[in-house]
Chain A
Amino acid sequence: MTGTYTSMGPHDVGGEEAGPIDTEDHGMTHWEKHANALRMTAVAKKFGTLDELRRATEGLGARYYEIGYFERQTESLAIILAEKDLVADDALKARMEDIAARFDVPIIDLPKDHDHHGKPIKEDETGEGPNQHHLMNLAMQELLQDQNLITADDIRSKIEKFEDDYPNRGAKVVAQAWTDADFMKRLLEDANPVIEDMGIDLEHASRIIAIENTAEVHNVIVCTLCSCYPRTLMGQPPTWYKSRSYRSRVIFEPRAVLKEFGTEIDDNVVIRTHDSNADMRYIVIPMRPGGTDDWSQEQLEAIISRDSLVGITVLADQ
């Protein structure tokens, strides 16, 4: 954008020219959910700080570009657990081999022409066995369990919360704000106590700022340095939120980016773009759509999309 663009490293992408955004959310595979849960648990248990994990990711150099988001998160966790003397490199490699062997299924009762070229069959949902990064995460988990630092249930329950609990919370907060002016006022002033009073436990993981979309101002959220997002309030961010193209571009051409998502904002409206780059996390309170005046809170929750909570879409009148 400036023509003389320099950055701190591969992660500092704000302002780079980049191509169109893949606006579809591709969801997460099981191994990615597991990787995410292990990382969140490691931070919650203070095995390392988020800043250390970020520093390790930023230090991957050329490898940063060669591997995907959850692969980077996995490798940075391994680096930090090694630094902290919690998981040594050789122990990790050995355990990965042990776990890989456990996925080998002996060939019994298979037709003669089904010999897999003499290779053992790997037992998992794809038939190819776990990838190297999943093995790495499984091995880190086991080695931490061996030291009684975590339990299998810590990881399992984290995955479940990301599936069933966190993703529904944001819409509850918005529906409450739409139907209770005093709640909205307090939410905009200081969000955490108001949200926690609803019975939503943010687990000390997110300091929330709620910002309201109005007829005059439209807010959009991004994290140009990584993928900061209020996960205990809104779950895992969609794929595009973590993408290089969204993170590079939305800060210098928000209107063009919004158009790619089918969102047109009038020039009379101020676009306020928020780079969520440090300790605060953001939820956009979208404008309440017309035709919902007599709706119940449950009905309202059902039309509040995840994308609207970062201001990338607006909610259509009903």
Chain B
Amino acid sequence: MSTSKKKPWSSYRPSPGRKFEVGDRVTIQFNEAPGHRRTPVYIRGKTGVIERVCGAFRNPEERAYGFDGLPERVLYRVRFRQNDVWPAYTGAGHDLIELEIFEHWLIPA
């Protein structure tokens, strides 16, 4: 299997034309359209900061139904303060939570 390995092989993918950069503040869309989504409901409507850019990936919302998932969508890691996500958060004020969110779910904040 290792003979079929493509080099260079990175954890990340290129993301030409992306809209956001590390440090940008973004709000996750509050959208309840049905279907397969990788954006959990608990994070919708919350505001955080881009932690890193993962790169462009096929869109799971299309792939789940047998489509090719193209064009690819840029995936980011977004960092949130726990206090901003859970108003009743009982842990330390500096605690963080991070998720992977596709670009079409992000609104500049």
Contacts and interface: CB of A to CB of B under 8 A. Distances in A.
A209 interface: yes
Nearest to B39: A277
Contacts of A83: 66
B101 to A, nearest CB: 8
Nearest to B96: A272
A1 B41 CA distance: 12
Contacts of B11: 190-193, 207-209, 280
Contact of A251 (B54, B60, B65, B97): B97
A32 interface: no
B92 A271 contact: yes
Interface in B65-109: 65-66, 69, 75, 77, 82, 85-92, 94-102
16 contacts: A6-B41, A8-B37, A55-B64, A193-B10, A196-B9, A201-B1, A208-B11, A224-B40, A251-B97, A271-B92, A271-B95, A271-B96, A272-B96, A273-B97, A278-B38, A279-B57
A54 interface: yes
Given A52-B64, A54-B64, A277 B41 contact: no
B8 interface: yes
A240 interface: no
A119 B30 CA distance: 58
B90 A253 contact: yes
A49 to B, nearest CB: 5
B77 A280 contact: yes
Interface size range on B against A: 35 or more
B59 to A, nearest CB: 9
Contacts of B1: 201, 203
Contacts of A2: 42, 86-87
A201 B9 contact: no
B94 to A, nearest CB: 5
A51 B64 contact: yes
A15 interface: yes
A101 interface: no
